[in-house]
Amino acid sequence: MDRRSFVSMGAIATGMAALVKASQSKAQSQDAGPTSADAGQPDASAAPPRANEITPGQPRVHTLNGEALPWRIVDGVKVGHLVAEEIDHEFAPGLRARVWGYNGRTPGPTLEAIEGDRLRIYVTNRLPEPTAVHWHGLILPNGMDGVAGLTQRPIQPGETFMYEFVLRDPGTFMYHPHYDEMTQIALGMHGMFIVHPRRPRGPRVDRDFVLMTHEWKIDAGARRPNPNAMADFNVLTFNSKAFPATEPIVCARGERVRIRIGNLSPMDHHPIHLHGLNFKITATDGGYIPEQAQHPATTALVQTGSTKVIEFVPQEPGDWAMHCHMTHHVMMQMGHNAPPMVGANTRRLDRRMSRVVPDYMTMGTTGMGGMGEMPMPMPENSLPMRGGPGPFSYIDMGGMFTILKVRDRVVGGERDRWFQHPPGTVATVADPARMRADGIDPDRRR
């Protein structure tokens, strides 16, 4: 390890209380939920859908930390407008960056429509370079496929293109640029595209969530992500938010819940793991999986360039973790490049360093667990290594992490409340007398 690494670790070690405090106070109040837009008209041939249903029995999707694109109905056509533009985005309190997105957000608004609908989507390019929009997974006329150079000419800055097509197949799709993909997708241009079946398919669900995974390289203090990164992504997000800014998923036990997970990360697949239940993968961006072919799982591998739809009926109430199982994907900016310090004896170094840097302490010699909550100064515009406040202590996962809140009943306000554990159901420190009674030696060393 070189001297600069020590000094930078030392600088980290002297006091980031302000940032931790800010993220704690704002953690649960970020983004007061999606503003679900009126996404069009129901199937006229069926019984009318109820409030918040898009077809009878099918709830509108809930884009966590996001929203749906509003449609205007013109002569039976659903007309929408996407504006590709640079925006100022907050990943979590303490970290903002200039990114690229659609309609002021990343991911862009969720497109939600019904099988058989005719869509007319205007795309205005307010970027400094050309773009094009590809409708990932949809089968449509070749000239509407949005591949610059191959199926259309690029949309120049300032131009507006019109895409028009009929939604042949229901499913969970995505949209993203197909021009300078490396830059534009890395900078946040992507969105989910949900096509509901006109007639119900499979068991009806009570809740239907939309979640786009992504990875970014944002050097501490930088104003923009680095779109040229190929490795060392250091900000991992659900719907472009890092925990604790990720909106929790709230549902009641016994409800059937669907989560549609997409991945347009530049380089990585994300094994998304859920605690407290098992689920079945019911569909991909290629269509529905026949029920006989669905198998139970607790982790869904969402490859880059794909969607996975999972469905489950939670039975056990609680606050359950939902996260990418790649351990670096629940870390934040500071963790990945830290020198390996576990087991190092740094007393002499600490003594010498403290002569020049008061309160100096080398970090990480007993592991990295406590580093996210350390009161340390951070470079401006950066996030701690990971994590956020929890009901028992600091939660030392951040990034691609959120909480599934399963309740007996959903009455409102659950997203801001921690689970109340029934007495006697929380793991805690063992009583030595009880250990002895159970034949366990409390003084055992090895």
Catalog residues that contact Cu ion under the rule CB under 5 A.
270, 324, 326, 329
Q: Which phi and psi angles does 306 have, rounded to 5°?
A: -150, 165
Q: Least separation, in Å, of the C-beta of 239 and Cu ion?
A: 14
Nearest to 78 by CA among 155, 167, 152: 167
The whole-angstrom separation of Cα 439 and Cα 442 is: 9
Q: In what order do the strands lie in the sheet with 133-136?
A: 111-114, 191-196, 171-177, 133-136
User: CB within 8 A of 331, min separation 6: which ones?
Assistant: 234, 236, 385, 386, 398, 399
Name the strand (E) or helix (H) holding 23: helix 17-26
Pick between residue 226 and residue 304 the one whose CB is nearest to Cu ion: 304
Q: Least separation, in Å, of the C-beta of 329 and Cu ion?
A: 3
Q: Could you tell me whether strands 95-102 and 111-114 are parallel, antiparallel, or unpaired per DSSP bridges?
A: unpaired
| Residue 40 DSSP one-character state | -
| Residue 325 DSSP one-character state | S
Pick between residue 27 and residue 397 the one whose CB is nearest to Cu ion: 397
Pick between residue 324 and residue 371 the one whose CB is nearest to Cu ion: 324
Pick between residue 187 and residue 326 the one whose CB is nearest to Cu ion: 326
Contact by Cβ (8 Å): 186, 216: yes
Dihedral (CA of 413, 415, 416, 419) sign: positive
- How is residue 396 written in tokens? 């030392």
Q: What is the dihedral of CA 61, 62, 65, 66, to 10 degrees?
A: 40
Q: Least separation, in Å, of the C-beta of 280 and Cu ion?
A: 21
The whole-angstrom separation of Cα 194 and Cα 210 is: 9
| Residue 194 DSSP one-character state | E
Amino acid at position 281, single letter: I
Q: Least separation, in Å, of the C-beta of 400 and Cu ion?
A: 5
Q: Least separation, in Å, of the C-beta of 271 and Cu ion?
A: 7
Pick between residue 33 and residue 271 the one whose CB is nearest to Cu ion: 271
Residue corresponding to tokens 């800055």: 157
Q: Least separation, in Å, of the C-beta of 109 and Cu ion?
A: 24
Q: Least separation, in Å, of the C-beta of 165 and Cu ion?
A: 32
Pick between residue 324 and residue 331 the one whose CB is nearest to Cu ion: 324
Q: Least separation, in Å, of the C-beta of 111 and Cu ion?
A: 24
Pick between residue 176 and residue 329 the one whose CB is nearest to Cu ion: 329
Pick between residue 136 and residue 329 the one whose CB is nearest to Cu ion: 329
The whole-angstrom separation of Cα 238 and Cα 193 is: 16
Nearest to 150 by CA among 168, 167, 137, 132: 132
Contact by Cβ (8 Å): 189, 165: no
User: CB within 8 A of 34, min separation 6: which ones?
Assistant: 62, 63, 64, 65, 66, 67, 68
Pick between residue 237 and residue 362 the one whose CB is nearest to Cu ion: 237
Pick between residue 133 and residue 404 the one whose CB is nearest to Cu ion: 404
Q: Least separation, in Å, of the C-beta of 187 and Cu ion?
A: 19
Nearest to 116 by CA among 205, 196, 201: 196
Contact by Cβ (8 Å): 324, 273: yes
Q: Least separation, in Å, of the C-beta of 270 and Cu ion?
A: 3
Q: Least separation, in Å, of the C-beta of 323 and Cu ion?
A: 8
The whole-angstrom separation of Cα 209 and Cα 110 is: 11
Pick between residue 67 and residue 215 the one whose CB is nearest to Cu ion: 215
